[in-house]
Amino acid sequence: MTPILYIIIPCYNEEKVLPLTSSLFLEKLDELIQKDIISSQSRILFVNDGSKDKTWDIICSLAMQNEKYTGISQSRNRGHQNAVLAGLMEAKNHCDITISIDCDGQDDINAMNQMIEEYRKGSEIVYGIRSSRTTDTLFKRITAESFYKLLNWMGAEVVFNHADYRLVSSRVLNELANYKEVNIFLRGMIPLVGFKSTGVYYERHERLAGESHYPLKKMLALAFDGITSLSIKPIRMIACLGLFISFMSFLGVIWSVATQLTGKSVAGWASMTSIICFIGGVQMVCLGVLGEYIGKIYLEVKARPRYIISDRTSDKKHDAEIF
């Protein structure tokens, strides 16, 4: 039997690019249906992430034009990860497989054929991996590649050069639904679920229109979230640093007693001040990292909803039929 596919597309202020890419996604879906690779019940599911422009209106009019387009809207902007999660959770009961992809046309939609092929061969998760980053600016390439290296080094295991373009089966999604954390980093969480997985390589293009919503500040925030949500290595590093500093201080004590006893205790103000400043600085950094984890625990304990869906295109259609 051919699987039902849902393509999950997060959209935040994408009025410029959505009219261009939505038809490309539909062409792809139709092609896959015609080739009998996927079921005709397959859909394109847009997730409006609290956009402030006309994105939601565009999604609603697409849904009116063609039943293969559907959409949900988050009650406010919650970020890319939450938007993808909302889409995946919405889709999981209606389909056999999902493919999440950005709406800006950067990810090569032709890689979907191979992804589904890998699913047919038995993989439940297929990661879309960029084969090169030649279309990125040097700055983006360097920051993004160091991002993956830093994440892995810090203990958050992620697939190198894989963003959020991936096929995930509904079986995996049903298990993912049991991961209740509110600090979500899907790239790190999905490998934790397990199941047979593989990768598919693709070329990443430039954005078709509009601008990136991931400036350096957001990328750093994502990296920091990724590390602190998936690993406690930074806390261990603090403990090691603490031990090292204690050892150095112990040597310092011996040294100061020795200089006192040998009668050479002349004004050591400069060295004293620098040691105090250094230790003060290190302590502040360590407190900051600990605070970050405590903050995360606080958020998890509150267990607030991870996304709130305020509208669905299916409701609108229903309304239109009634009136």
The residue ranges that bind ligand UDP (CB under 6 A) are 10-12, 14, 49, 77, 79-80, 83, 102-104, 106, 212-214
- Which tokens sit at 28? 């792809």
**Closest approach of Cβ 100 to ligand UDP, in Å?**
10
Torsion of CA 189, 191, 193, 198, to 10 degrees: 140
Which single residue brings its beta carbon nearest to Mg ion? Answer: 104
Q: How many residues are there in the chain?
A: 323
**Closest approach of Cβ 120 to ligand UDP, in Å?**
27
**Interaction residues for Mg ion, span 88-127 (CB under 5 A):** 102, 104, 106
Identify whether the C-beta of residue 103 lies closer than 8 Å to the C-beta of residue 15. no
Q: Which is nearer to ligand UDP, 131 or 260 (CB)?
A: 131
Q: Which is nearer to ligand UDP, 49 or 124 (CB)?
A: 49
Helix, strand or coil for residue 91? helix
Q: Which is nearer to Mg ion, 90 or 104 (CB)?
A: 104
70 binds Mg ion (CB under 5 A): no
**Interaction residues for Mg ion, span 10-29 (CB under 5 A):** none
**Cα gap 95→5, rounded to integer Å:** 6
User: Cβ contacts of residue 26 below 8 Å, gap of 6+?
Assistant: 44, 66, 68, 69
**Closest approach of Cβ 83 to ligand UDP, in Å?**
4
**Closest approach of Cβ 295 to ligand UDP, in Å?**
20
**Closest approach of Cβ 86 to Mg ion, in Å?**
19
Which single residue brings its beta carbon nearest to ligand UDP? Answer: 212
Q: Which is nearer to ligand UDP, 92 or 130 (CB)?
A: 130
**Cα gap 12→220, rounded to integer Å:** 19
- Which tokens sit at 229? 């949500």
Helix, strand or coil for residue 310? strand
**Closest approach of Cβ 278 to Mg ion, in Å?**
42
**Cα gap 79→104, rounded to integer Å:** 16
Q: Which is nearer to ligand UDP, 214 or 224 (CB)?
A: 214
Name the strand (E) or helix (H) holding 95.
Answer: none
Q: Which is nearer to ligand UDP, 144 or 237 (CB)?
A: 144
Q: Report which residue type is found at 39.
A: S
Q: Which does 75 bind (CB under 5 to 8 A by kind): Mg ion, ligand UDP, none?
A: none
**Cα gap 185→35, rounded to integer Å:** 34
- Give the interface with Mg ion as residue ranges (CB under 5 A): 102, 104, 106
